[in-house]
Amino acid sequence: MSTEQQEKQKVKHWIKEHIQDRWDIVFIIALLIGIGIRLYYLNINTAVWWDEGEYLATASHWAFNIPYGVNYHRGILFPFLGAIFLKLRLGEAAIRFFLVFLPSIGSLILTYFLGKKMYNKAVGSIATLIMSTSWVNLFWTARVATDFLGLFFGLATFYYFWTGYVEQKDTKKLIFMGIAAALGFLTRPANLLIPVILGIFLLITEHFKFLKEKRLWYMGIAAIITSLPYLIWNIISFGSPIAFTQGYDAGIVSQSSFAWQNLPWIYQYLGTIGFVFFIIGLITLANFFLGLDLIIKKKEHKLNADLLTVLSIVLILAFFIFYIRSTEDRWLLPLSPFIFLLVGKGANAILEQVKKIKPILIFAGIMGILVIGIYMNAQTADTLIQNKKDSYLQVKLGAEWMKANSNPGDTLLSISTPQTLYYSQRTVLSYSEIKDQQEFITFLQKTKPKYLTISIFEPHPQWIYQFVANRTDLVTPIQGYFMDQAQTKPMLIVYKINT
């Protein structure tokens, strides 16, 4: 047998060993679709938004020592890694690829393996297929944000918990779980909710017996060691190891009521077809609810997967409804794998009921319906991405113009502070807290900025418009960006400061 024939035999053997049924093929197709679509949208956006700007401004601050007030609410890992890429001159493209794109793909893979372990290949494959084209997932994969790095570490925490504790006691996997949980927390502080979910799961299934499990203590030690540098940095920078919690209480009190508007996000994540299968998935939980007392009495372990799924959905929703009391679509991304698993569970339940009736045709029919649903989801994503891809472009263009027409030591004034700093690589100060024109004049004399920008993109103090109209001795319009060719509707104006 020739070398070429031997290689072909090896490939065939690998395929036979790893692709054993139709669900392996569904998973591979879902993964390839997910990779292809994400690559297509990877660099479609022409400018970053405020939150993206904060991560990139913080990364620029650490990489190039540009003055910037780091937001203590934000996780530290994403901008820290971003600073390394910027320092190595790899730029925003590397940040997008390594910190957003790859974690997004990793989340698809982990969704499959978590679903496969908790339920079966069918549930994992269908969940991955839906996740690969979810409009929320696609839209935010195109943005420079922490969501998918946090989601990846969160799913890794769930996966290592399930395989390293629920299935079998594996010290190595539990240590990996602790590291993953800590890295998720360092990426997004809200990831602390995951250990809470797992702790409640253990309380229900083992009562307090798990506290005697040494492997879990090793997991906790690994998590603490991984988190310790961040906690020390918090003390040095902000005076408290839990500085990231500051300000949330005031925000919660300001909310007038509980955020029940979070519940419809489940439907909006899935669309009509996906939501129908989700409801069927909920119906399959009947045995779980009827057998809940057996789970608590530790007499039924087959329902543990349903318990973890229900706990994850209920507690994540409760966190945003009763604690945060507000939301954005992306904040509920940690919820998405579990609602997608329920969709997969619903679809699989139908297949199991009718598998004796022309199984291939039934399989093709169910998958065809799901494909219509995910196509509609992908269309929603494309519409949103295309409509938003050029938003804040004028802030970027204005910042780049000021960079080209200034020196590194110059100071700029802008309400879009983080984006302007990132694109200009200059010190940028906000004037949003200044009360009136006289205070602003004093501020100008003290800071001696070179340029000032006014735009439609953030709320501006009303006095600034009168100031630039009346004090032409102090400010001169020098560059503008408009929404019409006649240049009658300005989007951003750059003023030169004459001090």
Regions of the chain where pLDDT drops below 70 = 1-20, 247-256, 298-300, 355-359, 361
CB-based contacts of 121-124 (< 8 A; 24+ apart in sequence): 121/21, 121/23, 121/24, 121/27, 122/23, 122/344, 122/347, 122/348, 122/351, 123/341, 123/344, 123/345, 123/348, 124/23, 124/27, 124/341, 124/344
DSSP string of 369-392, one letter each residue: HHHHHHHHHHHHHHHHHHHHTTTT
Task: Report the pLDDT value the prediction gives residue 15, as an integer from 0 to 100.
Answer: 54
How far apart are the C-alpha atoms of 341 and 326, rounded to whole Å?
A: 25
How far apart are the C-alpha atoms of 70 and 485, rounded to whole Å?
A: 39
Domain edges within the chain: 20-388, 393-497
Residue 428: helix, strand or coil by DSSP? Answer: strand
| pLDDT tens digit sequence for 31-54 | 999 999 999 999 999 999 999 999
As its CATH architecture, domain 393-497 has: 3-Layer(aba) Sandwich (3.40)
CB 410 within 8 A of CB 426: yes
- CA 167 and chain centroid, separation: 28
Task: Report the pLDDT value the prediction gives residue 247, as an integer from 0 to 100.
Answer: 56
Residue 490, classified by CB atoms within 10 Å of its CB into exposed (0-12), middle (13-18) or buried (19+), is middle
Task: Report the pLDDT value the prediction gives residue 354, as an integer from 0 to 100.
Answer: 75
Task: Report the pLDDT value the prediction gives residue 2, as an integer from 0 to 100.
Answer: 67
Nearest to 82 by CA among 142, 144, 38: 144
CB 415 within 8 A of CB 462: no
CB 424 within 8 A of CB 414: no
Written as six digits, the tokens of 57 are 């401004």
Nearest to 458 by CA among 412, 400, 366, 392: 392
Written as six digits, the tokens of 13 are 């053997």
Written as six digits, the tokens of 491 are 């989007």
Task: Note the helical H segments in 88-146.
Answer: 91-96, 102-118, 121-133, 135-141
Helix (H) or strand (E) holding 467: helix 463-470
Task: Report the pLDDT value the prediction gives residue 139, as an integer from 0 to 100.
Answer: 95
φ and ψ of 21, to 5 deg: -150, 180
Task: Report the pLDDT value the prediction gives residue 299, as an integer from 0 to 100.
Answer: 64
Facing residues of 412 across strands?
A: 428, 451
Degrees to nearest 5, angle at CA 247 with 83 and 250: 155
How far apart are the C-alpha atoms of 464 and 452, rounded to whole Å?
A: 10
- Sheet with 411-413, strands from edge to edge, namely 427-429, 411-413, 451-455, 490-497, 475-482
pTM for this model (two decimals): 0.91
Count CB-CB contacts under 10 A for residue 372.
13
CA dist 392 → 46, 98, 249, 378, 395 (Å): 8, 24, 31, 24, 5
Task: Report the pLDDT value the prediction gives residue 245, as an integer from 0 to 100.
Answer: 82
Task: Note the helical H segments in 162-291.
Answer: 171-187, 193-206, 214-238, 248-254, 265-283, 286-290
Nearest to 351 by CA among 14, 19, 22: 22
Task: Report the pLDDT value the prediction gives residue 79, as an integer from 0 to 100.
Answer: 97
Task: Report the pLDDT value the prediction gives residue 325, as an integer from 0 to 100.
Answer: 83
Helix axes 102-118, 147-161, angle to 10 degrees: 30
Query: What's the half-sphere exposure (Cβ side, CA atoms, 13 Å) at 316?
Result: 26
Nearest to 184 by CA among 216, 147, 142: 147
CB 201 within 8 A of CB 311: yes
| pLDDT tens digit sequence for 139-173 | 999 999 999 999 999 999 999 999 999 999 999 99
